[in-house]
Structure 1
């Protein structure tokens, strides 16, 4: 779908709002805090550290950005305000995704309806791309693709179709949109195709159950693949298999993971384990679940590894030293591609600072540290942050 006049008017309005949101003279500058969590190490692989995006509870305007540096062993909390004193006090409302492309760091800020673009070397503001109710971002060539619910942040049985926004990485402007399913979430790129997991979360109980396939040459939706209801996460392995998580309906339809063969766009497997989040490390699909039941009002928590080559669950608890008993609500997950360290975050009660845990590849705790509110999304960086903080 080509951009409409209505969309262009909305984008113009958002740009005006962003320009007017710069920090006022009487606002107090929030300084970062630096904690040494482990001895610095001589980095031998490409990864120099990682950024962690804290979501912040919806409506609190408390999305924040943390950074861990391997060379110093320092964990730097809430770095954005200090590095951007003339821009705004905080990143915005609900940090939903963070990724790196080239020298740019992209943070998707859902309820603030924007993608914040920073210099990956300094975490300093470069631009803000207005996209309504934006969710996740992926890249292919000279373009970024951002999933968007396209409407208000509200449960609505008549909520409109979502879309994917196409962003030119040179101009940092939205140049096109393509309608997909209802409330689209994560995406993966395979060749010239973009796969989009549609949730239909706003239309509960009438969830969407499809993955949209977009031809990137024409930027049009060419098919929908019927999968499972309330889709969310996506990852692709080395053999072209796409893993898609279904959150179920929180009653009788349980969370599962579906496998799509990207060569023929057919669902080939249904994996009968729940997954709230997952990430691939080689042939290992690490996952955790906080499957919620509306019958009991409780979460059922599990941690596991699935071997994507042998097609079997390797373990149902990759934390081997009992630390999982200290984690109230697992919320973020990542595996360092170099060291194979496992990172798990704890959102606790969703309104107070969380905790980040670092585990050895064998699942034993190395260190932990306090984060911002609702620590959620990781991206590893091959470029060490070239700044010094006041509290260092």
Structure 2
């Protein structure tokens, strides 16, 4: 009798499971959206660019767009459409992106991974697991990823690391400890420069740029610069430009210039700079400096001649469009046409806007993006 009851119970369990399975719907893939922006131009040297939208923390809304100049079409949310098997989409907070060889690498901060896609098709190849990764750069068949390590916002988080990844095997080869909460990096003459922020401890920010000899993969020195470092960009004259975010109170954002031949700070510019891009002799930068005193952002736009190391008396937006930009959040330049692309994160929780400006600073076009548009990966012929 017990056997019959047990068998009947099993039958009911199987029936119930089948019923629930029939009722449950598979996750729906969010479809790609396409918007005609420009006339098709297949002859253009810049074929297009990927734009990575960070998405708000904890909302799993990072997304990938593509501006295709060969067709003139802006494609929103292509990752989910091209990779429907990835039910969680791109992940939580995409913090950087870069193309090296035939692959597109996307650093997804809170999801603790680097997504590797085919740069031509946008289809996923695999992911590389890295705890709390931040930025990526490349040299001689290697990818270098800065990573905070530890949990987000934890004051006693360990020192961060730089992870070396082989771009052929997509395997981590080694890692080295740097400062606290390392951010952006740049490579000059076989040395990797890493900005350390210490952003998890606002009363005790890190102040150093770590210098890694790539031949030995060892930290050979730490350069004292300023508190809460963030961006690092290299020019063609052997200098790197490093930004400090200040303390959001009485110490303001600045740009510092380091001579990589001597590894000494040789210049300082007292201007707000949250992000910058260097093209030939010009650094294009914007500031969106937050103040805890006023509870507001202070916005600014500027240009810097890196050859003469002088701030220019003009902006890269000249037609008043900057008044419509609430929070500038990403920037890139077409190295052939000298068009400048700037993104607006707006309120951080709804779709942003991508703007294109001609070399004279006049708006050419704009288009709606995903949430918090931030990181460009340019695709040239």
TM-score of the two chains, using structure 2 as the length reference: 0.92
Q: Counterpart of 1:367 in 2: which secondary structure?
A: strand
Note if 1:177 corresponds to 2:175: yes
Q: Where do residues 137-152 of structure 1 align in structure 2 (5 Å cutoff)?
A: 137-152=136-151
Note if 1:214 corresponds to 2:212: yes
Shift of 1:143: 1.1
Deviation string for 1:276-295 (max 9, x for gaps)?
Answer: 00000110000000011111
Work out the CA distance in 2 between the residues paired with 1:88 and 1:243: 40
Residue of structure 2 in register with 1:36 after alignment: 36
Residue of structure 2 in register with 1:163 after alignment: 161
Shift of 1:222: 1.0
| Bigger-Rg structure (1/2) | 2
Structure 1 residues 44 and 347, CA, compared in 2 at 3 Å: closer, same or farther? closer
Deviation string for 1:96-155 (max 9, x for gaps)?
Answer: 001001000000000000000000010000010000000000111121110000111124
Shift of 1:25: 7.0
Q: Where do residues 349-360 of structure 1 align in structure 2 (5 Å cutoff)?
A: 349-360=347-358
Residue of structure 1 in register with 2:294 after alignment: 296
Shift of 1:316: 4.9
Q: Counterpart of 2:200 in 1: which secondary structure?
A: helix
Alignment partner of 1:367 out of 354, 357, 365? 365
Q: Counterpart of 1:27 in 2: which secondary structure?
A: coil
Q: Where do residues 22-33 of structure 1 align in structure 2 (5 Å cutoff)?
A: 26-33=26-33
Deviation string for 1:201-226 (max 9, x for gaps)?
Answer: 01111000000001111111111000
Shift of 1:88: 3.0
Work out the CA distance in 1 between the residues paired with 2:298 and 2:206: 24
Q: Where do residues 237-276 of structure 1 align in structure 2 (5 Å cutoff)?
A: 237-276=235-274
Q: Is the 8 A contact 2:149 2:157 kept in 1?
A: no
Deviation string for 1:9-49 (max 9, x for gaps)?
Answer: xxxxxxxxxxxxxxx9701011100000111224242x210
Work out the CA distance in 2 between the residues paired with 1:209 and 1:43: 46
Shift of 1:317: 2.8
Note if 1:81 corresponds to 2:90: no
Structure 1 residues 124 and 99, CA, compared in 2 at 3 Å: closer, same or farther? same
Shift of 1:237: 0.7
Residue of structure 2 in register with 1:11 after alignment: none
Q: Counterpart of 1:80 in 2: which secondary structure?
A: helix
Q: Is the 8 A contact 1:275 1:287 kept in 2?
A: yes
Deviation string for 1:176-227 (max 9, x for gaps)?
Answer: 1100000000001112211100000011110000000011111111110000
Structure 1 residues 65 and 50, CA, compared in 2 at 3 Å: closer, same or farther? same
Residue of structure 2 in register with 1:104 after alignment: 103
TM-score of the two chains, using structure 1 as the length reference: 0.89
Residue of structure 1 in register with 2:344 after alignment: 346
Shift of 1:60: 0.6
Structure 1 residues 206 and 288, CA, compared in 2 at 3 Å: closer, same or farther? same
Q: Is the 8 A contact 2:44 2:70 kept in 1?
A: no
Residue of structure 1 in register with 2:191 after alignment: 193
Residue of structure 2 in register with 1:233 after alignment: 231
Question: RMSD in angstroms over aligned alpha carbons?
Answer: 1.2
Deviation string for 1:341-378 (max 9, x for gaps)?
Answer: 11111101100000001111111111111000000001
Structure 1 residues 166 and 140, CA, compared in 2 at 3 Å: closer, same or farther? same
Work out the CA distance in 1 between the residues paired with 2:31 and 2:42: 28
Q: Is the 8 A contact 1:30 1:89 kept in 2?
A: no
Work out the CA distance in 2 between the residues paired with 1:197 and 1:89: 31
Deviation string for 1:38-74 (max 9, x for gaps)?
Answer: 11224242x2100000000111100000000111110
Q: Where do residues 304-383 of structure 1 align in structure 2 (5 Å cutoff)?
A: 304-382=302-380
Q: Counterpart of 2:81 in 1: which secondary structure?
A: helix
Work out the CA distance in 2 between the residues paired with 1:293 and 1:155: 22
Q: Which moved more, 1:308-317 or 1:327-336?
A: 308-317
Residue of structure 2 in register with 1:129 after alignment: 128
